[in-house]
Structure 1
Amino acid sequence: MKSLLLSAMFLITSVMSAQETKTENDTVKKVTTIEEVTVKIQKKFIKVESDKTTVAIKDNPMLGTGNAYDAVKKLPGVIASPTGGLSLNGKGVTIYIDGAPSTLSGNDLENYLSSLPGSAIEKAELIYNPGASFDANASGSVINIVTSSKRLKGINASFNMNYNFNKYQKPSPQILLNGKEKNLSWQTMLGYNYIDRENKSKNGQTFTSFAVDKYIDQNRLTVTTNRNLYFRLGTNYRLSSKSNLLFNYNTNFSNDRDVFDAKTTGSDISDYLNTGTTKTKGNNHELSLQYKTKLDTIGRTLDIVAFTNVFNRNPNSKTNALEGTTPSYNNFSSDFGLLNYYLKYDFTIPFEKLKFSLNTGGKFNTIKVNNTGKYNLNSPSTDIIDFDYTETNLAFYAEARKKIKKLNLTAGLRYENFNVDRTGIVDDVSTDINFNNSNLFPNVSALYELTDNVNVSASYSRKIAQPSYSVLDPNGSNFDQYNSSTGNLLLNPSFFDNYEFKITAMDFIQLGTNYTVSKDHNLFIFNAEPGELVSTQTFQQFDKFKTMSIYANFPIPLDYFLKGKEEFKKRMGNIDKMNYVFLNINYIKNLTEGYDFSFKSNPVWNYAAQAQIMMPWDVKSTMTYFILPANGVWEIYKITKPIQQFDISLNKDFMNKKLKVGVHAFDLFNQNEVNALVSSTNLQTKFYEKNDTRTFRISLTYNFGNLKLEKENTDIQTEKVKSGGGLMK
């Protein structure tokens, strides 16, 4: 079993022969010659380490043919909440892209990830308890999306075509060109996404502030069309054998449309209809410049990154006036703009003889957001809501690592200064709120090597979560006469204390637990004002929010049981030919203080599995399944029916692996839907949401040009003290 799970990263086979030659003095000399050395790089779709788990995306047929958001939702331990947003093993997640935190939040971040093709992502790193080198504004965990960085000699190209079938049939073509000439390597990607999908939602709401409870039932159907053109350019210029200069430019243009049809019935109201169309145009531009250098022979390195991001969107919604009724209710438009500047440096000083290393660095970041909304609500007059947000962040950190025999120690301290200015509407009054706070954020961890393949680790970190612009912005959308949607300008920052204990073994097995205490925690909620038949969707601050999570990841080697030990040994050197199931189990218990639920806060269980089955004619079958059973409480939601999904993918290579063809079925049994009970002030809500997640896809990839994979090294290797980290091969 041990040899199975190790599945060595490098397989080196050498044949050595000894020849004996007798000299005149009858002495014997032994001459050893190496006749042959074969090096084979072992691919791994999942690699478990003490401080992170790395999952391959681009080469994974189940994840690489879709978009980044769909891929992230299928990562081990990741759960998408009913209101959107992601968690990792029960803790909040901050999304990083190529080592830098994403500026976008809420629906903007989800839409951006949905526009990023999975084929552009090399891997995703799940970092469970990030240390001082990561931003303190990371709540509890980080998912770092590493985009493709392969540079091949000469000029190479790859053409990809995904064709989606549901009720609609839409293509998504993409072409990737890359190459290398002397010291310059480059990569470009151009593609277009065209996707249609439907969303059905139902809310059965009981308003409890009246003498006799009143109720309304709401049904809504939204048909969404997403059209997105993207272009990505990356270059790496090798200044010397020790230095690299990397430049990246990414852009996308979106033109989306939502056609909605809603109906409301209930106590003391006539049937209310609300239909219309929302059109949204947006664009996003990212520009980064990175300088990486190895300063001397002892391994000191310097890494400097400058980054800017410009994002705009302009939604325009018009509802249809029905014959014999008042003018349409929800007509609005808004002009949203975001500007971000980011500069950071990291300096590494290793002391190999002392088995000690020191990392230090700093960051300066400015984010400016403006959103001006114009609303015409059953009235000839126009209301204007202007929201402005400015955040300035200055940070410095130092982190030391020390190895004492089998014990690896890490201690870090990060200083963060936040200056946040926000202006908007609170209770129909223009309000300006400023937060200026400076804090120290420590982290400590210890890792003990029980054996060469088994580690035990424990860690603590303190983090902060500034309320993002998406939860502060008082501008709303998707509202009508009985629904209000708004941000909360008065939210304070949340502080997190994260504790974690974990056992990892043989690059595949992980068993751990974490405990998080959050103060002034912000949660999405439904509520209603006393005596009003209007449901408000907003964010509310809670005094304390505690999360206890237990998780386990481990493989089941099907070949060992089904094919026998000898056949298994033959296949263990090539994971592409192995049959296996990789399991992930999560237990999550939430406790909210300062809030009364109408139901017991039961824990959430989540079970997920990914299997690879080799079929006749070299067809590879990949299957994934997850289920979140009923009766668990997720934040404020009680899940009343299981949430589950089964996906299957069949893939085959042709023409000496130049042509790859895949047939995929997502949510094959059409079971992925959310049924939940929400308990809130003056309101009880039965929540239902169903997206048309059952989709069939044909994917085609053709590679031409020089296919000899010689990856351009942009990593400056240093003699860092072992701390549970590592690179995925």
Structure 2
Amino acid sequence: MRYTFTFLLLLFTCQIALSQTGTINTHIIDDKQKPIDGATVSLLNAKDSSLVKVNISDKDGSAAFELIKYGRYLLSVSNVGFKKAKSPLFVLDEAHNAVKLNDIALTADASALKEVTVLEKKPFIERQVDKVVVNVSNSIASAGSTALDVLSRSPGVLINQNDQISMKGKQGVMVMMDGKPTYLGATDLANLLRSTPANAIDKIELITNPSSKFDAAGSSGIINIKLKKDQRYGTNGSLALNAGQGVYAKSNAGINLNYRNSKVNVFGNYNYAYRTSFNHLALEREFYTNGAVNGAYQQDNYLKFPVESNLGKVGADFFTSPKTTIGVVFTGNTTGLNTTVNNFSDVQNAALQNTSYFTTGAHNHARAKNFTANVNFKHTADTSGRELTSDFDYAHYGSNVEQNYDTEYFNLDNTLQKPAQLLKDYQLGQLDIYSVKADYVVPMKHKQKLEMGIKTSYVRADNDLTFYNIVSNVAKYDSTQSNHFIYDENINAAYLSYNKSFSKYKVQFGMRAEQTNARGNQIATQTRFKNSYVQLFPSMFINDKINEQNELNLSISRRIDRPTYKQLNPFKFYLDPSTYVEGNPYLKPQLTYQAQLSYTYKQKYNVTASYSKTTDNITSILIPNQTLNRVTIQTDLNLATYDNYGLSFSLPVEPAKWWNVENNLNFYYNRYSGNLANTPLNSGLVAFDINSSSSLTFSKKMSAEFNAVYTSRNVYGYLGIKQVVEFSAGIQRLILANKGSLKLNITDALYSNKLIGNTTIDNYSETFRRGIESRVATLAFTYRFGSNKVAGARKRSGGAEDEKKRANG
């Protein structure tokens, strides 16, 4: 109730008078009276033709200017393939504060209709007012990489040894693809990102503080991976081929096709990838009794995993009228992963002397089939911006995993210590998500706007795990380890957002309510649980444009991170005889309050200060098994509190006209408090990361990129990670009349991206060192064909946002 009162109080305080400003509306049409989408409309001062403001016409040809000071103006309109046109001079004053101009018609320019090559070069890292954008599409250094590789080089993003993604030192990140969450556990999400080639990606958006329109999940923000979708008129597309070599070979190929006219836009793409990589993990593990070592392991694990993937997307937008668009999008992904594991473990006594050893060989086969469908509708009622959008989403994630473990135990003289242990398990997973949402935008007088929406989603996760012990080549069912877990969840949400613009200020206040109903059922043990709760999530955003060069932004919000479906799954997933992963069906959601203040100078330099406080922080932890000797459990528990203080800088520099450098620096202090596994925790650490990306243009056909990433020592609960550094570089040459390009790059050129860390809790300590297939040289070829007349993009984000992320946790 107190949130609602605060929201209403803030709403009423915004009702103050506007300065003397007005609005201007017009329509842009061609010589056949059809609306022109994407035309550039410039508002000019009538006195000296100086530029006042620029806008782009919508699909119905409309263009509007708001908060324009009283005065004498005219409009200048231009578009590719047309001659420029101007409106008559007009006056904006108190008597005419809502000017509606006649349609402005553009005449086709025959000379401009000849083929034009569009060369748009954006920096690899681009900071916008509400997010940081990683422009993957034009990146030289990212050619031949995967989505996971590009993410690891993005500012503020770190991927740890368990494939968990954090941003600016905080875990709990929502990962989406094309505005729709990816519903997999951390490992499954990492495999999906590994199977997504960078040449299929347009850009990656890093959003640290979303508005109430977004699902309340993601206390650390949102990472939105946007796949390519061509916006050019006519028939066009692109082709990409590349081959790389690290320790193992990699290759992928992709094609992107698009057809667009004034009535329909049909698009599709397909990408195939085959990559073999490795993960080399060395562990030093010590077990204690009353503070004294009672035994230890020295372990060396080498995983080799060839990944073969097929990623496809097809869709269409139907422009049924200048005001109405209906769209459908289908995506599919199949991934085949065959992992071989070789583990060598020295067993040590209390004096840390070797007493025996064991080896584990594993051959695991995993197949995943993911499918998503989205039907969307958009209707713009009038030129004021009144708009209704709706989405229906369905997503299916299916997995079939077979794991085979063969462990042999030896004495130091290489004689068998005891019979070999042979273990086989089958894991069948099905995840189905249904989501419906609707959003409505209502413009109001005096530069006010209301946004409101509702959403309902239903999720069912069905996981069946069957264990067999192999004795004398006969598989015997193990009922003590087999399990069948079904999880059902329904979330109903509604939000209201109020916006108001003043002469120099913009304010937005929002409130989102979410009702959660969850049920879990372990069929093997007949253990059930239910959970139902309602939460309110207020948000506030204030923008102060001090002048043309200085701008302030303040945002405050409350967010939630529900446990992922895999974190709730109580199954045991064995890594070797000494370690297994186990879910926690009684894990509670974590709640976060966060505030962010940013200052921007010349729309170029930015400094941001932030603070967040999280309760019931979901923490990954290693715990010794209380009944099995020297066996460790990796699971998730709720830690009492977690505080994050952050300070980030964006400092672009231009050492020369041909050399641009984008520098991003993030400083943060993480403090954790609580008590898990009989181990109190009340400590913090100041950490920082630096991301520097250089773009060099040697000529119209030759360019290069250099990217350097450094992350200092960091902590995540009971886990400490040492510094990480990576340097990548690439060079590009345009060929075939600038329609094609050749890119040569190398990632992690110094092979320095090695993760080293440690964790210590009651009766257990572990130090790990991990090396991955990070140094890869790649040669890539791309070719664009077809029309180059660009139209404005239609942005879509479906309704299944939070749910898809939680399948990835």
TM-score normalised per structure 2: 0.78
Aligned to 1:516: 612
Aligned to 2:495: 397
Aligned to 1:634: 716
Deviation (angstroms), 1:315: 0.8
Deviation (angstroms), 1:649: 0.9
Of 239, 244, 251, the residue aligned with 1:164 is: 244
Aligned to 2:690: 607
Give the distance between the partners of 1:522 and 1:625, measured in 2 at CA. 31
Give the distance between the partners of 2:293 and 2:265, measured in 1 at CA. 71
Aligned to 1:354: 446
Of 610, 614, 637, the residue aligned with 1:540 is: 637
Aligned to 1:668: 749
Alignment of 1:131 with 2:211, yes or no, is yes
SS in 2 for 1:111: helix
> More displaced, 380-389 or 671-680?
380-389
Q: Is the 8 A contact 1:235 1:246 kept in 2?
A: yes
Deviation (angstroms), 1:549: 1.4
SS in 2 for 1:651: strand
Of 191, 196, 211, the residue aligned with 1:116 is: 196
Aligned to 2:424: 331
Give the distance between the partners of 1:176 and 1:42, measured in 2 at CA. 18
For structure 2, the 5+ residue unaligned runs are 1-38, 49-75, 85-111, 350-354, 410-415, 797-809
Aligned partner letter, 1:636:
Y
Aligned to 2:328: 247
Aligned partner letter, 2:166:
S
Deviation (angstroms), 1:395: 0.3
Aligned to 2:95: none
Aligned-residue Cα RMSD (Å) equals 2.9
Aligned partner letter, 1:349:
V
Distance 1:512 1:181, change over 3 A: closer
Aligned partner letter, 1:303:
T
Of 159, 182, 193, the residue aligned with 1:80 is: 159
Q: Is the 8 A contact 1:186 1:234 kept in 2?
A: yes
Aligned partner letter, 1:635:
G
Deviation (angstroms), 1:421: 1.2
SS in 2 for 1:72: helix
Give the distance between the partners of 1:247 and 1:381, measured in 2 at CA. 46
Aligned partner letter, 1:403:
S
Give the distance between the partners of 2:623 and 2:582, measured in 1 at CA. 12
Aligned to 2:665: 585
C-alpha distance after superposition, 1:467-490 (max 9, x if no partner): 111212122334222112111111
How many residues align structurally?
670
Aligned to 2:550: 454
Deviation (angstroms), 1:240: 0.9
Distance 1:321 1:678, change over 3 A: closer
Deviation (angstroms), 1:256: 0.9
SS in 1 for 2:630: coil
SS in 2 for 1:558: strand
Q: Is the 8 A contact 1:415 1:439 kept in 2?
A: yes
Q: Is the 8 A contact 2:121 2:138 kept in 1?
A: no
Give the distance between the partners of 1:533 and 1:104, measured in 2 at CA. 30
Deviation (angstroms), 1:684: 0.8
Deviation (angstroms), 1:557: 0.8
Deviation (angstroms), 1:617: 7.8
Deviation (angstroms), 1:321: 6.1
Alignment of 1:549 with 2:646, yes or no, is yes
C-alpha distance after superposition, 1:46-82 (max 9, x if no partner): 4433322233221222335422222233222222234
Deviation (angstroms), 1:430: 4.3
Q: Is the 8 A contact 2:706 2:729 kept in 1?
A: yes
Q: Is the 8 A contact 2:674 2:682 kept in 1?
A: no
Aligned to 2:799: none
Aligned to 2:596: 500
Alignment of 1:372 with 2:464, yes or no, is yes
> More displaced, 176-185 or 520-529?
176-185
SS in 2 for 1:213: strand
> More displaced, 37-46 or 582-591?
37-46
C-alpha distance after superposition, 1:338-361 (max 9, x if no partner): 10111111111122x411111100
Deviation (angstroms), 1:504: 2.0
> More displaced, 449-458 or 598-607?
598-607
Of 55, 58, 69, the residue aligned with 2:137 is: 58
Alignment of 1:385 with 2:483, yes or no, is yes
Alignment of 1:684 with 2:749, yes or no, is no
C-alpha distance after superposition, 1:503-528 (max 9, x if no partner): 12333322112111111111111121
Of 114, 119, 122, the residue aligned with 1:44 is: 122
Aligned partner letter, 1:202:
A
SS in 2 for 1:140: coil
SS in 2 for 1:350: strand
Give the distance between the partners of 1:243 and 1:208, measured in 2 at CA. 68
C-alpha distance after superposition, 1:403-448 (max 9, x if no partner): 23212111000010011112238xx954211110011111112121
Give the distance between the partners of 2:306 and 2:216, measured in 1 at CA. 37
Q: Is the 8 A contact 1:230 1:253 kept in 2?
A: yes
SS in 2 for 1:108: helix
SS in 2 for 1:175: strand
Distance 1:710 1:616, change over 3 A: closer
Give the distance between the partners of 2:761 and 2:385, measured in 1 at CA. 56
SS in 2 for 1:62: coil
Give the distance between the partners of 1:658 and 1:342, measured in 2 at CA. 41
Q: Is the 8 A contact 1:10 1:41 kept in 2?
A: no
Give the distance between the partners of 1:68 and 1:506, measured in 2 at CA. 32
C-alpha distance after superposition, 1:239-271 (max 9, x if no partner): 111111111111111111000000111225520
Distance 1:597 1:61, change over 3 A: farther
Aligned partner letter, 1:517:
K
Aligned to 1:314: 400
Deviation (angstroms), 1:209: 2.6
Identity %: 20
Alignment of 1:179 with 2:259, yes or no, is yes
Deviation (angstroms), 1:612: 1.1
Distance 1:206 1:322, change over 3 A: closer
Distance 1:635 1:626, change over 3 A: farther
SS in 2 for 1:296: coil
Give the distance between the partners of 2:178 and 2:575, measured in 1 at CA. 36
Give the distance between the partners of 1:47 and 1:365, measured in 2 at CA. 34
Give the distance between the partners of 1:516 and 1:423, measured in 2 at CA. 34
Aligned to 2:777: 696
Give the distance between the partners of 1:263 and 1:372, measured in 2 at CA. 30
Aligned partner letter, 1:295:
A
Alignment of 1:623 with 2:706, yes or no, is yes
